[in-house]
Amino acid sequence: MPEGLDVDAMIERFRERAKAVRNRNLPPVAGPERTKFLQQAQSDYQDFAIIGDAEASLDDGVLTLRIDLRPKE
């Protein structure tokens, strides 16, 4: 693994970011700005949560994040 790269810590930071977005307070906005804020928060949460669920491997200098997007049974 390249020096200074801690993939497990990186993935944990994405988990923490997803949690922070989910728990973020809604600013005092209304109308279209509120809708835009909520849509952005949902996108941020989804992106962070997906990477937070990844299994990482480093092979020949290539970082691979394996993410199972199949529905849970």
Query: What pLDDT sits at residue 1?
Result: 53
Q: Which residues are within 8 A (CB) of 49 and not within 5 positions of it... i.e. 6 or more apart?
A: 14, 15, 18
Range of the domain at 25: 7-66
Assess contact for 54 and 65: CB atoms under 8 A: yes
Q: What pLDDT does 2 receive?
A: 61
Q: What is the pLDDT of residue 61?
A: 86
- Number of folded domains in the chain? 1
Query: pTM of this prediction?
Result: 0.79
Q: 50 lies in a domain?
A: yes
User: What are the mean pLDDT values of the chain's consecutive 10-residue runs (73 residues total)?
Assistant: 80 96 90 92 95 92 92 85
Exposure string for 30-60, b = 16+ CB within 10 A, e = fewer: eeeeeeeeeeeeeebbeebbebbbbeeeeee
Instruction: With respect to residue 2, please indicate whether it lies within any of the assigned structural domains.
Output: no
